Chain A
Amino acid sequence: MKLNSSIPAVTLAIIGLVASAPAAAEIGACLITKTDTNPFFVKMKEGALAGAKANGIKLQTFAGKIDGDVETQVAAIETCIASGAKGILITPTDSRALAPVVKQARNNGLLVIALDTPFEPASVADATFATDNFKAGVLIGQWAKAKMGAEARNAKIARLILNPSQISVDYLRDNGFLKGFGIDIKDPKKIGDETDPRIVGHDTTNGNEEGGRKAMENLLQVDPDINLVYTINEPAAAGAYEALKAFGKQDDVLIVSVDGGCPGVQNVEAGIIGATSMQFPLLMASKGIEAIKAWADNGSKPANTPGLDFYNTGVELITDEPAKGVPSSSSAAGLAKCWG
């Protein structure tokens, strides 16, 4: 980020935050992400900065240190209110705990938009721009079912989830996948209450390669004949593939995933991941900036996608083996719009 020397700059050291206080006439906005470590948020930040520049908005960016760092996000919102900004784009690190401070921001006339992760209830924010994570799961579930054909009845399914906390993105993708595959998911907000005998089990990955490998090894120990693996994201899928390779099973197992990061799409191209549901963080951020601009200009608020309590920024299935009845794009097309 380039600092304009004519504007007084405030640098808050600890979280590596670069902030420039907006001059009176300019529209100010803030982007608050969960972390600065996940490429998804890095990309979101890039999209927001580019959008801000195009719309003449002064954007301050903040990030928590780790997932779940509520304190830093609260402080960021407070700083943002104090700076006189017109709006906040936030990926809430805790979908409930931030409600009071968000209310405070809205009372001060700021437009608050949740990106990627909805608040609970979603109405805490003025609007939510997010991926339909359930739909993302349904797409890969449907694809896997179509791909396996009659064999789907004999599927042995492993699910590599994020962590034990049962958070929304985790249960939405997981249950979406099972639903798409045609399995009774019981409680749609719970992972692991299903009783379908085709499910071998689930294990946690923390969304990285190391966790993916370990979880896959563990589940293969439970049942070595697993032939379908759902993964919470593409790094976990890459780890799962390494475990399958070590067990000599990489050619017998179908891996599906969610995200659309560039290494993930490359893995679709290489045949490691069968299909992945791509989401669009850049779009979330640029749409968010436009909404703040409109709010500052004429006080209008963005509308939700009909039938949902958020604005759906879209999800697209990427695979090189299209299945009948499931719309998809090729990995080549995916590489052109992947993030990170």
Chain B
Amino acid sequence: MSNNETKKGTMQDFEKVIEQADVNVASFEVQHKTPLDKMQHFLHGNPTMVPVIVLVLSLAVFGVLAGDRFFTAFNLSLIIQQVSIIGILAAAQSLVIITAGIDLSVAAIMVLMSVIGGKLAVDLGIPAPLALLIAFAGGTAAGLMNGLLVTRLKLPPFIVTLGTWNIFFALNLWLSDAQSIRSQDIDDKAPMLKFFGESFSVGGAQLTYGSVLMVVVFVVLWYVLTRTAWGRHVYAIGDDKEAAELSGIRTDRTLVSVYMVAGFICALGAWASIGRVGSVSPQSFYEGNLQSITAVVIGGISLFGGRGSIMGPLVGALIVGVFQSGLRLSGVDVLWQVFAIGWLIIIAVAIDQWIRKVSA
């Protein structure tokens, strides 16, 4: 503009005050931080540290309370073995919860697929690898069904999976006649189904392949969620689905894939559960879905989606196992174990809320 100079020279009156204005860039008031604030900040940046700290503390406490029998390599490996199936379910559950959904059908898919695999291999004599492949396909298809109902019919995941939980459970009872397939029959006809129950020893610890599978599932998911575009999309959808959509993510397609992967992991869990339980048991793991949610919540994954590390639920599952074993070896009755897990859930979520309220 040609009259730049004149404009500057003839600054209007109301603009003059601007020269007295504060020229500092916007900034926050500097306050003294208490150690608690620092802690809150640290945990906000490292949310997985909460369950890790709880795990270490509970190991220490039970090491003292429950005595020598608790702190043996054997007992610790037994705890890992005992939580392995719920841990695998928790991995599947985490994926869905990160998208701000919930999957009440995980355990039902798992039990149904173990029944399908067992029926095919043991009762019908189909080769075990083929039976397992069919079970994997079945688990993935069950996840696809969940995903399509959530994205196409726009139903809340809670409702969809509440429905499919019942549907899969009923199918399980229908196929199995509510009758277990005996361990000895599996040994005779399809020992491969029990592969994940086999164990190897490492310095007094007895690790099953099922325990290893659980860790592998978590490590693979951790890699996929943090190092691939798909993983970033999953978090983005959980954080803000509309924003994710506007930034070009095909949210529905990604959501469907999340449920399918979750279903596939449940089918893997089905294979591992046959090894763990010994038989194909249509009545086991009825509360598996809630136990998996417990592990996820204690592991620090937010039920509101988009937040939390996938490694958290692994630690969460271990915490539950450590509490149960520790209380048991301290001679505490089962009902107080249930009581303790209840408080653990509430405290875990309370801590999560507190961390989210982080202020400068």
Contact = CB atoms under 8 A, between A and B. Distances in A.
Contacts of A221: 69, 75, 78, 325, 328-329
Contact of B173 (A36, A204, A242, A267): A36
A89 to B, nearest CB: 20
A238 B274 CA distance: 13
A266 B269 CA distance: 28
B329 A222 contact: yes
Interface string A201-224: 101101111110110011001100
A273 to B, nearest CB: 11
Contacts of B159: none
Given A16-B170, A206-B286, A210-B281, A267 B182 contact: yes
Given A210-B281, A238-B278, A270-B184, A340 B199 contact: no
A241 B281 CA distance: 14
Interface residues of B, number: 38
A304 interface: no
B57 interface: no
B82 interface: yes
Interface string A235-258: 100110110011000000000000
Interface residues of A, number: 38
Contact of A42 (B81, B178, B285): B178
Interface string A53-67: 000000000000010
Contacts of A266: 182, 184
Contact of B283 (A164, A203, A235): A235
Contacts of B170: 16
B82 A211 contact: no
B180 A42 contact: no
A37 interface: yes
Given A214-B82, A221-B75, A208 B179 contact: no
Interface string A161-201: 00010000000000000000000000000001000000001
Nearest to A272: B184
A257 B329 CA distance: 25
A100 interface: no
B13 interface: no
A261 B180 CA distance: 11
Contacts of B328: 203, 218, 221-222
Interface string B190-206: 00000001010000001
B305 to A, nearest CB: 30
A209 B170 CA distance: 19
Interface in B326-351: 328-329, 331, 333-335, 338
A38 to B, nearest CB: 6
Nearest to B278: A242
B183 A204 contact: no
A222 B199 CA distance: 21
A209 B278 contact: yes
Interface string A63-100: 00010000000000000000000000000000000000
Contacts of B179: 39, 261, 263, 340
Contacts of A235: 180, 279, 281, 283
Contacts of A16: 170
Contacts of B219: none
B276 interface: yes
A1 B183 CA distance: 32
A239 B177 contact: no
Nearest to A35: B178
Given A208-B284, A209-B284, A263 B182 contact: yes
**Residue in A192, A209, A245, A263 with the greatest tally of chain B CB atoms within 10 Å:** A209
B279 A238 contact: yes
A210 B329 contact: no
A166 B143 CA distance: 38
Contacts of B173: 36-37
26 contacts: A37-B178, A39-B178, A164-B333, A164-B335, A164-B338, A204-B334, A206-B283, A209-B277, A211-B284, A218-B328, A221-B328, A222-B69, A238-B183, A239-B278, A241-B278, A242-B279, A261-B179, A263-B179, A263-B180, A263-B182, A266-B184, A267-B182, A267-B184, A340-B177, A340-B178, A340-B179
What are the 4 A-B residue pairs with the smallest beta carbon separation, nearest first? A242-B278, A210-B284, A164-B335, A209-B281
Interface of B: 69, 75, 78, 81-82, 85, 170, 173, 177-180, 182-184, 197, 199, 206, 273, 276-279, 281-286, 324-325, 328-329, 331, 333-335, 338
